[in-house]
Amino acid sequence: MLSMRELSRVYRTDTIETSALSSISLDIADGEFVAIMGPSGCGKSTLLNIIGMLDSPSSGSYVFNGQEVAGLSEGKLADVRKHNIGFIFQSFNLVDELSVRENIELALLYHDVASTERRRRVDEVMDKVGIAHRAKHRPSQLSGGQQQRVAVARALVGSPKLILADEPTGNLDTHHGEEVMRMLQQLNREGSTIVMVTHSPSHADYAGRVINMLDGQILIEQRRAA
Amino acid sequence: MRLSFTIALRALTRNRAHTLINILGLALGLTACLLILLYLRYERSYDSWLPDSDRIYQVQATWHEPGQPITHAQTSPFPVRDTLAGGFPQIESLSVMRNGQTVTTRDGEAIFIDSAIVDPAFFDIFRLPFVHGSAAGALSDTNAIALTEKEAIRHFGTSDVMGRTMSLGAGPGKRDYRIGGVLRDLPKNSSLRFGILFRYDPAEAAGLPASAIGWGNMSQQHYLKLRPGADAHAINAALPAWEKRVVAPQMIGGRAASQADIMDLALVPITGVHLGVAQHGALTPGGDPRALATFVVVALLTLAMAVMNFVNLSTARATQRAREVALRKVLGASRPRIVVQLIGESLMLAALATLLALAAVELLTPWLGGRIGADLEVTYPGIGGLLLPAILLFVASGLLGGLYPALYLSRFRPAQVLRANKSAAETPGNGRLRTILVVVQFAIAIGLIVCTCVIYSQTRHVATVDPGYRRDGLIQIESAWRFAGDSSEYEAARRELLAIPGVVAAGRTNLGLAATNKNILAVRTSGAAQDSAIGYYAVDAEYLRTIDVPLLAGRQLGDRYARDRVVRAEADGAVLQQGAGGFNVVLNRNAVTLLGLGAPQAAIGKTIKVGLDGEDMADATIVGVVEDTRIRTARDALEPIIYGYDPDRTSLVLVRYGGADPAAVMAGINRVWRRFEPEIPFQGHFVEALVAEIYAADRARGALFAAFAAIAVLIACLGLFGLAAFTAERRTKEIGIRKVLGARIRDIVRLLTWQFSKPVVLANLVAWPAAWWAMRDWLNDFDVRVALTPGPFVLAGALALAIAVGTVAGHAIRVARLNPILALRYE
């Protein structure tokens, strides 16, 4: 699915140069469930952003689905991203002014999908995450768990090859956190590739591979039996 | 108090863009309001500076002759001077005022001076201040004159000219006058105009023909002063009966007719003359109360737009300020106290805008005064000063702009605001109000753009519409009395005019192109129960050819036919008929239609009766019919006209030229003029310039509308700019999400610009009907007018949309280019 070689990300200001990622090499195969762990500031979110093409590496190579994406323009990156990647955020990042249905549909608006097809796919994915009965509600009318289910539905509706989850349980209580993790596990079993950043070792246990990072480098990789 | 002031000041400086937009918008609106107020007060101040102005009246006449538009005149019939005071003992003094121009020579050059012939009672009515001399002796006899200070200095270099003599007039009428008084110059806000006053000599009337001393002679104004406490309304109510008693019926062509039937006299307060409905025969250009009212409304709308900006931006900022207000409440501040503080901020802002506006008014007043020819002056204290209205506008705009945001912000519940992840300030109603205000703002702006477009195209249309004659290559020479009749001088002058390279024709008339005066005849056709009133043009054989009026049927008038010429007897004014058949005339198409004579060709050879000068009606045979001509403004209906070959009555010469430098032709005509008429100043005008001049007020109005439209658009855009900034900021997270989900920069820009384009599109639905109604009303004033096509409406809508999109696009692009990670990380 993706392959990174000697990938670095450096942030520069007038006076300071900060290295967020340093010579990372990483391969993720189709159907994997990878958890990235590490202390705050170790570079795990930067890595996730680069995987998700929301950020570009300062140097190194990033091949996604056989295509080098490290030097692509923002427009091309947006094209690759929208056809291949779904995002789940810690703070849900739903649009307050839109209903549950509209929030999910948002992900298809930029895919040139006809409205009837959009409706069918939104209905399907809402059923899948169990949020159909809240279709007309606004995010502010939902619990945290429900909001994250909407976010998961939005990530899924475009049928992405890769789902990136940045601390998806960070804002949820234990019960709702477990619920979301079981949902991700189920998606992985159905064939989705998932890369998740988490602070929780117990949630990392859902993944097939755990990558531990420190100071912008991969410290250790552990593979678990499925 | 000091703390509140500090907080208010910091709140204003914290968001400089918001503060600047509000101050600039309000300052623009206030400047427009204060300038229009100055202009309004100036227009309303006409003649109010006169002592006893509340007792001074002008006698005005309204004429409603059959077949003619109603004429509201500032002039009144000749006999009013000797009859009116006798009928109404409430009249303390009455004076005639016959205005005109006299000539004198200075440094060998003949020059005109505005003059008026008045009764000594004039100074009882108008207690004008004298620089030298006094009202009692100024016009002690008919050899005495009174000068204005400006004229005295112009001719003698000093105002101390008492007792000196001045040679005035031309030809046999030239004589020396003794200067009996020097008056202070009249201010510009005066409906009177003169440089020299002569004393009226009643004995002169004895030698005048009946028509010159009758009720049909409208060549003079009459002014009167009522006794203290007298009621002008009572006199006006009694005037119709008085007219019936005093105005004797005339026998016109065997039918009894009284001027009282077609004329209504009325006393109009001198302070109401300038803005009054009667402007025919005015000595100074009249004001237009409708235009004035329009500008007042537009200025207030401009201010309202600025206030709307204030409300819009303040409520938009509520998200930012909700937390501060909630904290203050937690710390014990009551709602009224918060309201007072927020209104205080608004007032502080309005105060700054007012100061800025006053500075702008000071700077712009001389410019505006110059543009409209007014003595505008900025004074502050007193009823007529700007201080009071400025304070009122400051308080009104500060309160109106601040009250709603203050009430809105102060109602937040602290617990809700402080607990909520997002602000409780963003309620749906709040956004709806902002949308409504933006719709209203852009509706005003679009409406003004439509009006500007329509006024502009109408002004162009009337300047270019076919007038029935050829305007280009035509010069009009005024005051050509010497060339009237069959003088050998004119024939010699005409030969010289035609010898000027490029000059191809020259003709004479009594009514110039773009003239305001009229000469109306009673015309009778066989079988008609009532006489028709038709304009009479005394012309020579070359006139119609010179101005190039197409002949529709028959022939032109000319010397080959003896009966073509109108020949008069001596001073009694009766028309000597040429044999038993009278004389020949040419009619225009409109006159033929009005008289029911059928097609132009059918009218040829028919005879009508015309009351040319006096009571007798003469037979006139139609020998030609020409196309209608638009001699006056496009506001006036096409006139029915009778052209008579009557060179004795002509006073203007028209010269047609082609293929030559216009300036060289004018200079050549000037040389010929000076050789033949050294005593009268040369007054030659290009007809195109004369026609342009009569639409100068319309063009000025169009320019002022354009200025207001520009201000309105600017204010609306300032508001939109501020709102777009806040919205872009507020929607940063949403934009980040959309980008993560695959939106490109152009998708985001489209999203944001459409959000602000919607109210602008909606504004068209409000603006278009209102502008259509207003412009239809305005255009109805014109006899020829442009059609109200969708063009200006669509153009205004598109322009407003383009401006709105341009204003918003900057923010949209900036936000769309942001890295979505930043937006989502800090959310």
Residues in chain B: 827
Q: What is the mean pLDDT of residues B40-47?
A: 92
Last residue of a domain, one of B636, B656, B682: B682
CATH class for the region spanning A30-56+67-223 = alpha beta
Eight-state DSSP code of residue B203: G
Least confident of A133-137, A151-155, B694-698, B797-801: B694-698
Q: Please indicate, yes or no, whether residues B249 and B108 belong to a single structural domain of this protein.
A: yes
**What confidence score (pLDDT) does residue B425 get?**
44
What is the SS3 assignment for B234?
Answer: helix
Residues 89-128 of A with CB under 8 A from B: 89, 91, 93-97, 106-107, 109-111
Element (H, E) at B132: strand B130-133
Q: Which of B271, B129, B145, B112 has the alpha carbon at shortest distance from B186?
A: B129
Most trustworthy range by pLDDT among B51-65, B304-318, B414-428, B721-735: B51-65
pLDDT at residue B619 tops 90? no
Give domain status of residue B470, yes or no: no
Task: ipTM value, please give it.
Answer: 0.81
**What confidence score (pLDDT) does residue B820 get?**
79
What is the SS3 assignment for B231?
Answer: coil
**What confidence score (pLDDT) does residue B430 get?**
61
Find the CB nearest A110 among B734, B742, B824.
B742
pLDDT at residue B31 tops 90? yes
Q: Contact, B542 vs B582, CB < 8 A?
A: no
Least confident of A135-149, B414-428, B813-827: B414-428
Where residue B405 falls among pLDDT bands split at 50, 70, 90? confident
**What confidence score (pLDDT) does residue B141 get?**
93
Q: Please indicate, yes or no, whether residues B81 and B210 belong to a single structural domain of this protein.
A: yes
Tokens in use for B12? Answer: 């204003």
**What confidence score (pLDDT) does residue B501 get?**
96
Q: B481-509: buried (b, 16+ CB within 10 Å) or exposed (e) per residue?
A: ebbbeeeeebeebbebbeebebbebbbbb
pLDDT tens figures, A194-216: 999 998 899 999 999 999 999 99
Total number of domains in chain B:
4
What is the SS3 assignment for B350?
Answer: helix
Find the CB nearest B824 among A75, A78, A89.
A89
pLDDT at residue B421 tops 60? no
Per the prediction, chain B carries an average pLDDT of: 87
pLDDT at residue B208 tops 90? no
Q: Which of B157, B125, B158, B142 has the alpha carbon at shortest distance from B197?
A: B142
Q: Please indicate, yes or no, whether residues B450 and B421 belong to a single structural domain of this protein.
A: no
**What confidence score (pLDDT) does residue A64 get?**
92
Q: What is the mean pLDDT of residues A63-82?
A: 85
The amino acid at residue B344 is G
Q: Please state the separation of Cα A124 from the chain's center in Å.
A: 20
Give domain status of residue B384, yes or no: yes
Q: Please indicate, yes or no, whether residues B657 and B512 belong to a single structural domain of this protein.
A: yes
Q: Do B738 and A79 touch (CB under 8 A)?
A: no
Give the number of beta-carbon pairs within 8 Å between A and B: 56
**What confidence score (pLDDT) does residue B579 get?**
40
Task: Using alpha carbons, list the distances in angstroms from residue B765 to B305, B318, B768.
Answer: 18, 30, 6
Where residue A32 falls among pLDDT bands split at 50, 70, 90? very high
Last residue of a domain, one of B228, B248, B272: B272
The amino acid at residue A166 is D
pLDDT at residue B255 tops 80? no
Place of tokens 């066989």: B526
Q: B106-131: buried (b, 16+ CB within 10 Å) or exposed (e) per residue?
A: eeeebeebebbbbbbbbbbbbebebb
Quote the minimal CA–CA distance from A82 to chain B in Å. Answer: 5
Q: What is the mean pLDDT of residues B2-22?
A: 76
Top pLDDT among A90 and B684 is at B684
Cβ neighbours of A95 in B, within 8 Å: 733-734, 737
pLDDT at residue A226 tops 80? no
The amino acid at residue A195 is V
Tokens in use for B89? Answer: 């003992």
pLDDT at residue B251 tops 80? no
Place of tokens 């109602």: B411
Q: Please indicate, yes or no, whether residues B515 and B635 belong to a single structural domain of this protein.
A: yes
Give domain status of residue B279, yes or no: no
Cβ neighbours of B740 in A, within 8 Å: 52, 54, 81, 87, 93
Residues 731-750 of B with CB under 8 A from A: 733-734, 736-745, 747
Where residue B366 falls among pLDDT bands split at 50, 70, 90? very high
Q: What is the mean pLDDT of residues A50-68?
A: 90
Where residue A172 falls among pLDDT bands split at 50, 70, 90? confident
Top pLDDT among B224 and B303 is at B224
Q: Do B821 and A97 touch (CB under 8 A)?
A: no
Where residue B419 falls among pLDDT bands split at 50, 70, 90? low
Residues in chain A: 226
Tokens in use for B395? Answer: 């308080």
Q: What is the mean pLDDT of residues B722-751?
A: 82
Where residue B390 falls among pLDDT bands split at 50, 70, 90? very high
Residue among B737, B748, B754 with most chain A CBs within 10 A, to mutate? B737
pLDDT tens figures, B142-151: 999 999 999 9
Cβ neighbours of B820 in A, within 8 Å: 54
Element (H, E) at B198: strand B196-199
**What confidence score (pLDDT) does residue A5 get?**
93
Q: Which of B529, B91, B449 has the alpha carbon at shortest distance from B267?
A: B91
Find the CB nearest A111 among B422, B742, B827.
B742
**What confidence score (pLDDT) does residue B312 get?**
82
Q: Do B734 and A95 touch (CB under 8 A)?
A: yes
Q: Please state the separation of Cα B84 from the chain's center in Å.
A: 32
Tokens in use for B498? Answer: 């035609």
Residue of B nearest to A98 (CA): B734
Q: Do A55 and B743 touch (CB under 8 A)?
A: no
**What confidence score (pLDDT) does residue B492 get?**
93
Task: Using alpha carbons, list the distances in angstroms from residue A176 to A168, A180, B368.
Answer: 10, 6, 72
Quote the minimal CA–CA distance from B740 to chain A in Å. Answer: 7
Top pLDDT among B726 and B105 is at B105
- B37 at interface of A, judged by CB pairs closer than 8 A: no
Give domain status of residue B761, yes or no: yes
pLDDT at residue B221 tops 90? yes
Q: What is the mean pLDDT of residues B676-692?
A: 91
Q: What is the mean pLDDT of residues B465-486?
A: 90
Cβ neighbours of A147 in B, within 8 Å: none
Please tell me the number of Cα atoms within 13 Å of B374 on its side-chain side.
25
Where residue B68 falls among pLDDT bands split at 50, 70, 90? confident
Q: Contact, B508 vs B540, CB < 8 A?
A: yes
Q: Please indicate, yes or no, whether residues B658 and B708 belong to a single structural domain of this protein.
A: no
What is the SS3 assignment for B10?
Answer: helix
Task: Using alpha carbons, list the distances in angstroms from residue B545 to A10, B464, B632.
Answer: 90, 21, 19
The amino acid at residue A194 is I
Separation of alpha carbons B592 and B624, rounded Å: 10
The amino acid at residue B143 is N
β B520-524/B607-611 pair status: antiparallel
pLDDT at residue A148 tops 60? yes
Q: Please indicate, yes or no, whether residues B544 and B674 belong to a single structural domain of this protein.
A: yes
Task: Spell out the residues 6+ positions from residue B309 whose beta carbon is closer than 8 angstroms to its own.
Answer: B21, B22, B25, B26, B441, B715, B718, B719, B722
Task: Spell out the residues 6+ positions from residue A101 whose beta carbon is closer than 8 angstroms to its own.
Answer: A122, A126, A135, A136
Task: Using alpha carbons, list the distances in angstroms from residue B235 to B52, B263, B269, B408.
Answer: 18, 16, 12, 59
pLDDT at residue A128 tops 80? yes
Q: Please indicate, yes or no, whether residues B646 and B559 belong to a single structural domain of this protein.
A: yes
**What confidence score (pLDDT) does residue B580 get?**
44
Separation of alpha carbons B508 and B595, rounded Å: 26
Element (H, E) at B319: helix B318-330
Task: Using alpha carbons, list the distances in angstroms from residue B43 to B36, B286, B482, B696, B697.
Answer: 10, 9, 40, 18, 15
pLDDT at residue A7 tops 80? yes
Q: Please indicate, yes or no, whether residues B131 and B265 belong to a single structural domain of this protein.
A: yes
**Of all residues in chain B, what percent carry a pLDDT higher than 90?**
45
Most trustworthy range by pLDDT among A142-151, B8-17, B188-197: B188-197
pLDDT at residue B319 tops 70? no
pLDDT tens figures, B233-243: 999 999 999 99
Least confident of B17-21, B135-139, B181-185, B696-700: B696-700
Kindly report the number of other CB atoms within 10 A of residue B261's CB atom: 14
Q: Please indicate, yes or no, whether residues B499 and B609 belong to a single structural domain of this protein.
A: yes
Separation of alpha carbons B185 and B149, rounded Å: 6
Cβ neighbours of A93 in B, within 8 Å: 733, 736-737, 740, 824, 827
**What confidence score (pLDDT) does residue B702 get?**
81
Q: Contact, B623 vs B584, CB < 8 A?
A: yes
Q: Please indicate, yes or no, whether residues B221 and B131 belong to a single structural domain of this protein.
A: yes
**Of all residues in chain B, what percent carry a pLDDT higher than 70?**
94
Where residue B792 falls among pLDDT bands split at 50, 70, 90? very high
Residue of A nearest to B732 (CA): A95
Q: B223-259: buried (b, 16+ CB within 10 Å) or exposed (e) per residue?
A: bbbbeeebebeebeeebeebbeebbeebebbeeebeb
Where residue B722 falls among pLDDT bands split at 50, 70, 90? confident
Give domain status of residue B186, yes or no: yes
Backbone φ, ψ for residue B283 (5° rounding) = -85, -25
Q: Please indicate, yes or no, whether residues B306 and B416 belong to a single structural domain of this protein.
A: yes
Q: Contact, B304 vs B714, CB < 8 A?
A: no
Top pLDDT among B182 and B820 is at B182
Where residue B569 falls among pLDDT bands split at 50, 70, 90? low
Q: What is the mean pLDDT of residues B611-616?
A: 67
Provide the residue range defining the domain that includes B348.
1-46+285-426
Tokens in use for A129? Answer: 């995450």
**What confidence score (pLDDT) does residue B636 get?**
82
